[in-house]
Amino acid sequence: MPNTESAKKRVRQNAKRNALNNWRKRKVKDQVKSFLAAVHGKDIKAAEAEYRKTVSALDKVASSSTMHRNTASRQKSRLHKRLKALQGAAK
């Protein structure tokens, strides 16, 4: 248990930041799942739309300290590979 006022405040700040970071990560994970569902459904138009939403969500989260920008970039690259594979298979 924190004893000083500053330690109590630090606990409150950490709880608030943790909740916000978890919310941001959950938002990205949900968006990635919807993109992958569109890819597995072989719906190119829906996959392209979901990809744009996913990239936007990743960029927003990467601009904060929740996720490192290289991690977001790596995830975008891997998702883009899946989208290109789907588009190539449709030809």
C-alpha 78/C-alpha 81 separation (Å) is: 5
pLDDT at residue 39, as a whole number: 96
The answer to whether residues 24 and 71 touch, using CB atoms and an 8 Å cutoff, is: no
Domains recognised in the chain with CATH numbers = 5-90 (1.20.58.110)
pLDDT at residue 67, as a whole number: 96
pLDDT at residue 43, as a whole number: 92
For the chain, count helices (H), then strands (E). 3, 0
Low-confidence spans in the chain with pLDDT less than 50: none
In this prediction the pTM is 0.86
pLDDT at residue 79, as a whole number: 98
C-alpha 6/C-alpha 25 separation (Å) is: 28
pLDDT at residue 1, as a whole number: 87
